[in-house]
Structure 1
């Protein structure tokens, strides 16, 4: 099929952009709330397939690949451009403490920043694809699962995945969850669905999507007018007001829990119990965090943040060790001796696409150089010479390219993109080359992380395309178009949220903004809250051992690997208040019970559709709530909000 002809079609791109815009609002909404984001590539392919049934002629499998690639590029910009971590962190700066005033970007400045980091990862993807997908044939389990789903939906023979049986394929066969779950500014924690072979009839699929979307949307709108619906005192008013123990029965959170799967939600809630049930009271009553529990500076919420950071960093570093070892030993050492990873010279390419369907090298070189030069210039224009010097931004892009190699390889092997650890490495480096400048530290970390995160997300899509024999050039076009539109959509949505809500604030705490700012302050001042250092060391050592066990179990293909606690998910339980974790546990339990009783082959796709409807319903209707708030339409009743945890009430 010449140069993607018949694949890169107007209808595939338009449907991808529509779905991607919905995902963009949804991801921004939940990212600012909880530090959670999803690629939703599998859901995009599924919803795109259902929508295409409304057209005179349904889309082909290859068009569906382009559709979901465009949707992912559009929907993940809130993470790639740092709207849920970097920008809120800059807004938290304190002139007296940090030597810099808070940075609040205007709409045009936020567009400039987004343009600076939006395309670097896209142009990194083609050369990385050739190495990790074609030559090394890494698994990329989430991308493989999406390819399997597309083959089922379009009644194609199952894609050939009988390549190098690395640990990623072992994970694909043994894990249960379905989609890339990215924790904002944290590693992308993923499990993979073993896609069922049975197809849900079209009418039944529409019905499930419609009622789940409507139920979630109605509940979200009701919670806007009666905020207590999403802030139920779990163990009484005292624990809710003083210790932040509330419950948010959000159907979207339940849907996210279904997507995450029971093992991940269980790890998150174990972290929540340790952080909020043990360490928070301990820090408060010991006098280490004397302020109000929810205070991120003097309260126990800010105190346990440091323990969370130690867990995430130790987990990321340990997970990267085997990847670095294999890269150095297998690729560099054996490359010097003239042998490839399979013991051959590796001179013959395994590429099965013709040149006219690939992205030309000239485009890649010009694109990388252009995105780096223009990105450096734009960052300088947005933040000024006092923010970050152009040479430092240039180094940030170079580091982003190098770290992307590690992140993409880790993702291909384990479905884990350790962008948290990679971002922290960049922060450590910039604390050395540009000491004392907190703004530069955060921006440089964001530049490096953006490249690693975006390259990893797009590599999953390229793996799907490789399995379905879609044109890489057509996917590349979709990625560029999706990224361009998402810059405007994300920036506009974020500006509206800023006008209507305090960010970070009660409704949108943006928890990972404190992670970025906290590490930048630590690297500058070297000061930690009282006794937090000791607990950081204890938990770092403990979860280094846990991460080593999990890494070994995944590499060996053990069916018990998924039950070893995830350090990242455990740490996320510290970052968010209990209300966010508990509802996801409900979804995880539903996923586990449903598949245990019904089986994946009989109802796997149906459950994905319902979970997708739950997630999209709240994300889309949140835009209605945003418009109501912008025009001054307030809540109908603050009844039951005496505990002060209802974000929508004036008294909260």
Structure 2
């Protein structure tokens, strides 16, 4: 659940910028004090903002965050905003290093907020590629493992087995194009239209506060809290490992609400990761996940299973898309597509109306000038001065986009012969428009719809190519092309906004984004491959079900086979879910527009979030609701402490539990198994086991 800049993980149900609006509201006096507080601090040139210590810190943190994002992608796909943790850990690492050098009398360059912004930008860019790389979604959906579960399109031309080499080559080919697609519009977006980019703005406030004396003291306390919860989470994950020798063993299979509820995937699995995710995600995201779980696993699936033998064959395997699994997958897809279509159309309308309104206003040109601390708008003077100081020539942007697009058009058909050069020419022709719409809409609402554009690309290109010519692979590959362009464009504009508010050079922002993207093009496949070789990835009943692999392949199958591949009455139910998703979003937008006093729109559940448990069950939703409950009780007890330290506690829980996956995977690769299997049986089954053991003895 983007999600990285904007609502990166909108398909996963998280809303990035969870604290953006609250942060901005709490900084009403920011216009008066921020740049005056840094008035006597020299702003280093853009080359000095890209220090070796910043780049090394970004590299190390990118590795940590890649492991976290990879694990979240392969489990439920719910990914929270990690910007706070990135900014905080970046500050802690470099501040500790510079403090040590200062004590030794060796410090040559003080740690600045511009450096902190560079680190945060690199880490977020890297984790952004970890999401949009598709290693747990569209690329995994190409594999024979997922194809075997889909019961359709499982032919050689529609299957491509994963290989580390071509994944890295593909990411290098498609990940940089989007960076050049939006650069010429940076002044228009940031200065002329003054788009807010709530997450970028919140991140800037965070970094600015770190580098004031009061903020530095709070940051040190936050780091201490993060480290403590990190250690506790890591030790707890290690402790759980000893009881989980195989799937179905350990605390992750604890029947919290009874064995019958456990069979319907209602249980608390003691995951510190998703408790932490729940503390970061908005309350309504977590509640929506739980509502979706109750509706699907508590009501819909038990009712559909009573139609076994009528609606679908009783002889089908549990993973067949022509059986109960088909309802779970395609109804979730329908709800996601309904939600995605609504937001794409709504964002296009909002973008168009905003552009028309802006075009009617008298435009003013902005020229460089010297700022004056006596100016009533000293902040804007300073920010305009430094934002216009280091320009990126438009010819670099246009040439970069065209050159990289040509390389991509030549290279990608060698990786995916199903996707021809003319398919890619069409994709790269329309991509800048979609990138602009996504970046502009993200600036207005903090929502990035990259994965929705990717899903629609799957349907269009898979139908265009056709089943016999490899439409499944072509659709999934086109998803990667479109998603990477649109996603990185909104990411970069978020970074420009953050840089604008911290007086960071646009050039340092651009190069730090390129650096983060480059290291992640290598790091992300390597981290994924580490998990891929250590665990049974894609197994619906395993620890790493990677649900979006099957869902994205299901979307491609809809494109090439049409609705004829669906089981009985699945189409009618899918249409119903599609309509419900649109209606829920429409109700929320209407309430938000016409009703302001009680803000009832906050209580309308998210259709995208409701769809996720359709396939996975409710165990992670329960974990996240526990996280929400902890945060809620903390806020009732001490709201200020919850606001200051809640993100640090959540980040520590996520980091510690997720990073235990590294030694656990190494142990698995080495053939080392846990010594104990903790399993739960009903009383009757337990009696049979006892009787069997007695007979054997």
Scaled by the length of structure 1, the TM-score of the pair is 0.85
- 1:78-89 aligned at under 5 Å gives the runs 78-89=130-141
Is 1:312 the counterpart of 2:336 in the alignment?
A: yes
Secondary structure of the equivalent of 2:672?
Answer: coil
Which of the numbers 550, 555, 559 marks the counterpart of 1:523?
559
Aligned residue number for residue 622 of structure 1? 661
C-alpha distance in structure 2 between counterparts of 1:575 and 1:140, whole Å: 33
Q: Residue 521 of structure 1: CA displacement?
A: 0.8
Deviation at 1:473, TM superposition (A): 0.7
Pairing 1:151–2:184 present: no
Distance in 2 between the 1:398 and 1:203 partners? 48
Residue 588 of structure 2 is aligned with which of 550, 563, 567? Answer: 550
Q: Equivalent residue for 1:286? A: 307
* Alignment match, 1:42: 84
The match for 1:235 among 257, 261, 282 is 257
Aligned position for 1:401: 432
> Equivalents in 2 of 1:511, 1:37: separation in Å?
14
Matched, 1:67 2:127: no
Residue deviations 1:480-518 (CA, integer Å, cap 9, x gap): 111111122111111222212222121211111122111
> Counterpart of 1:639?
678
Partner of 2:604: 564
* Residue of structure 1 in register with 2:507 after alignment: 473
Q: Kindly tell me: are residues 356 and 454 of structure 1, through their superposed partners in 2, closer, same or farther at Cα, counting changes over 3 Å? A: same
- In structure 2, the partner of 1:98 is 153
Structure 1 residue 375 and structure 2 residue 427: aligned?
Answer: no
Looking at structure 1, the residues matched to 253 and 185 of structure 2 have their Cα atoms a distance apart, in angstroms, of 45
- Contact (CA 8 Å) 1:66, 1:475: kept in 2 or not? yes
2:196 counterpart residue number: 139
Cross-structure match for 1:361: 394
Is 1:222 aligned with 2:243? Answer: no
Asked if structure 2 preserves the Cα contact closer than 8 Å seen for 1:503 and 1:509, the reply is: yes
Query: What corresponds to 1:113 in structure 2?
Result: 170
SS state at 2:155 partner: coil
Distance in 1 between the 2:304 and 2:186 partners? 47
Which is further off, 80-89 or 358-367? 358-367
CA contact (8 A) 2:58 2:119 kept: yes
CA contact (8 A) 2:151 2:322 kept: no
**CA-CA distance at 1:7 after TM superposition:** 1.8
Match of residue 377 from structure 2: none
Q: Deviations over 1:304-329 (max 9, x none)?
A: 22222222222222223332124334
- Counterparts of 1:61-460 in structure 2, within 5 Å, are 61-91=113-143, 92-94=146-148, 97-98=152-153, 100-101=155-156, 102-155=159-212, 201-227=218-244, 228-240=250-262, 242-287=263-308, 288=311, 290=314, 295=319, 297-331=321-355, 334=356, 340-341=358-359, 343-345=361-363, 352-353=385-386, 356-383=389-416, 385=417, 387-436=418-467, 437-460=471-494
The 8 Å contact of residues 512 and 575 in structure 1, kept in 2 or not, is answered as no
CA distance in structure 2 between the partners assigned to 1:396 and 1:576 by the alignment: 33
Shift of 1:467: 1.5
Matched with 2:106 is none
Distance verdict in 2 for CA 1:206–1:293, change over 3 Å: farther
**416 and 628 in structure 1: CA distance in 2 versus 1, 3 angstrom threshold:** same
Q: Secondary structure of 1:6's match?
A: helix
Write the distance in 2 (CA, Å) between the matches of 1:429 and 1:42.
Answer: 37
Deviates more, 1:584-593 or 1:556-565: 556-565
SS at match of 2:633: helix
SS in 2 for 1:28: helix
- Alignment partner of 1:579 out of 615, 619, 627: 619
For the residues of structure 1 that align with 2:166 and 2:242, how far apart are their CA atoms? 34
Give the equivalent residue in structure 2 for 1:25. Answer: 67
TM-score (norm 2): 0.80
Following TM superposition, by how much is the alpha carbon of 1:259 offset from its aligned partner in structure 2, in angstroms?
Answer: 0.8
Show the counterpart of 1:650. Answer: none
Q: Determine the C-alpha separation between the residues in 2 that align with 1:328 and 1:419.
A: 18
Query: For the Cα contact (< 8 Å) 2:182–2:435, is it kept in 1?
Result: no
Q: Distance in 1 between matches of 2:646 and 2:329?
A: 34
Q: Is contact 2:350–2:441 with CA below 8 Å preserved after alignment? A: no
1:404–1:451 Cα contact (<8 Å) kept: yes
Mapped to 2, the partners of 1:551 and 1:93 lie a distance apart of 38
Q: Report which stretch shifted further, 411-420 or 251-260.
A: 411-420
Are residues 568 and 279 of structure 1, via their aligned partners in 2, closer, same or farther at CA, if it must alter by over 3 Å? same
* Corresponding residue of 2:19: none
Q: Aligned residue for 1:162?
A: none
Cα distance in 2 for residues equivalent to 1:518 and 1:71: 32
SS in 2 for 1:59: coil
Of residues 519-528 and 353-362 in structure 1, the stretch that sits farther from structure 2 once superposed is: 353-362
SS at match of 2:660: helix
CA distance in 1: counterparts of 2:397 and 2:477, whole angstroms = 25
The CA RMSD measured in Å over matched residues stands at 2.6
Matches for 1:497-516 after TM superposition, within 5 Å: 497-505=531-539, 506-516=542-552
Relative distance call for 1:611 and 1:540 in structure 2 (3 A) is same
Contact kept in structure 2, 1:264 and 1:569, CA below 8 Å: yes
Larger radius of gyration: 2
In structure 2, what is the Cα distance between the partners aligned to 1:299 and 1:236?
27
Residues 408 and 456 in structure 1, CA contact (< 8 A), matched pair in contact too: yes
Distance 1:388 1:103 in 2: 13
1:412 is displaced (CA, Å) by 1.6
Equivalent pair of 1:319/1:548 in contact (CA under 8 Å) = no
What is the deviation of 1:275? 1.4
Assess, with a 3 A threshold, how the Cα gap between structure 1 residues 33 and 623 changes in structure 2: closer, same or farther.
same
In structure 1, the residue matched to 2:646 is 607
Runs of at least 5 residues in structure 2 that lack an aligned partner in the other structure: 1-42, 100-109, 245-249, 368-379, 683-697
